Amino acid sequence: MRLQRVEDLRIDHDLTQQQVADILHCQREVYRRYEKGTRELPLSYAIILAKYYHVSLDYLTGLTNVKEPRWADVR
């Protein structure tokens, strides 16, 4: 499954694929495959990206257009 928002968020934050791969502690080519949908993005990586970009998992996966995560108000 291609997660277009993963790529869109990276571009919106002016990050390279290598920079995001470094955040996830994986190789750039592996991350590129997540963006292109040729490899499934592990849930643990999706959580890291959602927290990094301050968006919900539902937004990251395209289930909603609401960016703000529900846990944003929890401290």
The string of pLDDT tens digits covering residues 7-39 is: 999 999 999 999 999 999 999 999 999 999 999
What percent of the chain is modeled with pLDDT above 90? 73
Q: Show me where the domains of the chain are located.
A: 4-73
CATH homologous superfamily for 4-73? Answer: lambda repressor-like DNA-binding domains (1.10.260.40)
pLDDT at res. 17: 97
Average pLDDT value for residue range 59-72: 81
Q: How far apart (Å, rounded) are the C-alpha atoms in residues 56 and 66?
A: 8
Of 21, 43, 44, 42, the closest CA to residue 31 belongs to 21
pTM confidence score: 0.86
Q: Is residue 34 a contact partner of residue 10, using CB atoms and an 8 Å limit?
A: no
- Which residues, in sequence order, are CB contacts of 19 under 8 Å at separation 6+? none
Average pLDDT value for residue range 53-69: 88
pLDDT at 60 over 90: yes
